[in-house]
Amino acid sequence: MDFSSLVKAVQDFWGFIWPPVLCTLALVAIAAYVAPNWCSRKRAVLLAAKPSAQSQIAFVKISKRFGIDKLLPVLTAFTLLFLLSATRNVVMVVGSLIPVEVTYDPDLLLENHADSPRTAALWFAYGGDGSVSDFRQQIQRTVDEARQKNGNDSVVSGLQYWQKTAGEYVGMIDVCKFLVLYTLCMLLLELRQRRDSLRALGRCFLLLLVLSVASATYVALFLYATDQAEYSTLEVAAVYKAPQPHMCYYGTIIPADEEKCKLYADSMQPTFHPGRKRWWWIEFAFGSVFRWVFHGLTGQRPTS
């Protein structure tokens, strides 16, 4: 018996089932915590709608007559998995549509790595001229070729890992955004019951505080993973385009090769602006429109 295939199947099933299960449990827990009176009312409605004993007996007889009773476990499992997956997809899709997102400028991110010897080697390998965007496009072409030639290489696998990790953190940010909206909706439903309003407000505030901390944590993890993905991108390009690291990097003059180092510094100076700078920001709904209106009212020329 091939136990490796069995273990992999169990791991794949667990990887598929635990995110929607946790997502559903989080929704139920938030509803029970923020809106207990509303949940009690809905629970009473569901219990009142429970079919009678005669209806259940009639359903069992019909199921046995047509042989449906043997398929009930399969149908129940399929329905449960479908509902769990649909719940998770709704949370992810709605969360991604909430107009608050973390964006970044790839060119500024590349400039933050301009003082690396790896960047210096790539700059010389690609001719030592052009803009940051051109330099990035050249690097990306090299990375795409590396993926096609040897996608299992360790450096390529490292890049794929960090890109996948950054995508997972984006998904968690979307989940946190949805949970914030969901918590506010539960608060409104609880306030409509006109019972224990102060307790509902206090619980909602506490839960929003927890979700804010979780969102900030995932934002920080996303930025770290994105920066590591950029580092891995330069590493992949350097391995396949410029395997020999250059002895110079921006801002340093090595006496052993002062002329080449000065040439490198002069060639990068019009393009790169060395030094750590902010390459990311949080974009809110219609932020660019508001900025355009603000620039128009203040007499400044809009930049976007």
How does pLDDT run along the chain (304 residues), one tens digit per residue? 566 677 677 777 777 788 888 999 999 999 999 999 999 888 888 777 777 777 767 777 777 776 666 777 788 888 888 888 899 999 999 999 888 888 888 888 888 877 776 777 777 777 767 778 888 888 899 889 888 888 778 888 899 999 999 999 999 999 999 999 999 999 999 998 877 788 889 999 999 999 999 999 999 999 999 999 998 998 888 888 765 555 554 444 344 455 555 555 555 554 666 555 688 888 876 555 566 666 566 655 544 4
H-state helical runs in 192-253: 197-241
* Distance, CA of 51 to CA of 265 (rounded, Å): 80
**Residue 12 CB burial class (10 angstroms; 0-12, 13-18, ≥19):** exposed
* Distance, CA of 92 to CA of 173 (rounded, Å): 9
Q: List CB contacts of 219: < 8 A, sequence separation 6 or more.
A: 102, 173, 282
Strand partners of residue 283: 101
CA distances from 82 to 12, 92, 290, 291 (A): 17, 15, 41, 43
* Distance, CA of 29 to CA of 36 (rounded, Å): 10
Packing angle, helices 154-191 and 197-241, rounded to 10 = 170
Residue 126: the pLDDT is 79
Question: Do 103 and 281 contact (CB within 8 A), yes or no?
Answer: yes
Residue 272: the pLDDT is 62
Question: Tokens 């790839």, residue?
Answer: 106
Could you give the angle at the alpha carbon of 253 between the alpha carbons of 249 and 257, nearest 5°?
A: 95
- For 42, the token pair is 């809905």
Phi (first) and psi of residue 99, to 5 degrees: -75, 55
Q: List CB contacts of 62: < 8 A, sequence separation 6 or more.
A: 68
Residue 212: the pLDDT is 95
Packing angle, helices 72-97 and 154-191, rounded to 10 = 90
